[in-house]
């Protein structure tokens, strides 16, 4: 019997867990647990697959007043790309997300911009859907380059984040333990009809059965805001974090000592992974 506490940095940028997967850090493990703060308690939320993309447009600088016809406007390409994506949204599935920023839009108003840069995140419920979305988005970027005469460079992130695979056996036991500690969970309808963010823990769930619950911290503030940062550091939040840790520990003990539970967890993992990879028909 071995329990490992593994620090996994860089979830928000770079995907540290993916590097750890490649380095063999999860080899030989039976189950992996991680909890994430939120506005509610849920044994599972549909964290989606995510792809980063950086787009660079290269044009030609010129004086914007005296010789504008000599320039090739990279900012025009960036604006067209942004607008292309806005038009694409009409045909996007409700579960798809595309959001980004123009990181570099030029130097001075009187200089035709010769270089611009955009950064976008693409999200979809599955890797299959994400591949379709990525192709559509990249066509938006390329067409903007053709329209303006710019050269374009499209570079994907080092690691894609996979969607988190559910494990109903682990979720059931975790909820039972959480309820014993007074945790009130949101309904199944809220889970099935909602979307969450993205995490490199999704990649972990493709190699080992995983549990990724969300937990309330005593605040209705939304994640990634100043208000949530303040709430997460409060004394009040510590109670909820420790309660969640206890529920996870109780679930780990169940996996160890309840006859047959680990095999049920493994079977759930096999079936969900097969379904995700398209090798069996959806139920």
Q: What is the phi/psi pair of residue 83, to 5°?
A: -70, -35
| pLDDT exceeds cutoff 70 at 216 | yes
Q: What is the pLDDT of residues 236-250, one digit of tens each?
A: 999 999 999 999 999
Residues 16 and 269: their CA atoms lie apart, in Å, by 23
Average pLDDT, the chain: 92
Q: What is the pLDDT of residues 78-91, one digit of tens each?
A: 999 999 999 999 99
pLDDT band per the 50, 70, 90 thresholds, residue 193: low
Least trusted range by pLDDT, from 10-24, 27-41, 156-170: 10-24
Which residues does 268 contact at the CB level (< 8 Å), separation at least 6? 167, 168, 169, 170, 209
Residues 266 and 29: their CA atoms lie apart, in Å, by 12
| pLDDT exceeds cutoff 80 at 102 | yes
Which domains are seen in the chain, by residue range? 16-47+164-279 (3.40.630.10), 50-156 (3.30.70.360)
- 120's enclosing H/E stretch is strand 115-124
Residues 224 and 239: their CA atoms lie apart, in Å, by 21
DSSP 185: P
pLDDT band per the 50, 70, 90 thresholds, residue 207: very high
Q: How high is the pLDDT of residue 257?
A: 94
Which residues does 32 contact at the CB level (< 8 Å), separation at least 6? 26, 201, 204, 205, 208, 209, 210, 211
């Amino acid at each position: 019997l071995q329990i490992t506490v593994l620090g996994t940095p860089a979830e928000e940028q770079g995907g540290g867990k993916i590097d750890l997967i490649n380095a063999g850090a999860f080899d030989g493990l039976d189950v992996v647990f991680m909890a994430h703060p939120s506005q509610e308690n849920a044994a599972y939320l549909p964290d989606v697959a995510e792809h980063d993309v950086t787009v660079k447009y290269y044009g030609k600088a010129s004086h914007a007043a005296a010789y504008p016809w000599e320039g090739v406007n990279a900012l025009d390409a960036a604006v067209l790309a942004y607008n292309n994506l806005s038009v694409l949204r009409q045909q996007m599935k409700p579960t798809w997300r595309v959001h980004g920023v123009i990181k570099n839009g030029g130097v001075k108003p009187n200089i035709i911009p010769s270089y611009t840069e955009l950064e976008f995140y693409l999200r979809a419920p599955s890797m299959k859907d994400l591949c379709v979305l990525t192709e559509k988005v990249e066509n938006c970027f390329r067409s903007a380059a053709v329209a303006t005469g710019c050269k374009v460079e499209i570079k994907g992130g080092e690691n894609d984040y996979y969607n988190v695979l559910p494990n109903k056996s682990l979720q059931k036991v975790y909820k039972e333990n959480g309820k014993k500690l007074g945790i009130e969970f949101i309904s199944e309808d809220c889970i099935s009809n909602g979307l969450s963010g993205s995490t490199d823990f999704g990649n972990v769930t493709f190699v080992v059965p995983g549990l990724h619950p969300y937990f309330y911290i005593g605040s209705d503030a939304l994640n990634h805001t100043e208000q949530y940062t303040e709430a997460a550091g409060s004394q009040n939040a510590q109670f909820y974090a420790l309660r969640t840790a206890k529920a996870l520990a109780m679930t780990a003990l169940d996996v160890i000592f309840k006859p047959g539970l680990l095999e049920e967890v493994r079977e759930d993992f096999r079936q969900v992974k097969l379904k995700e990879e398209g090798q069996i028909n959806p139920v």
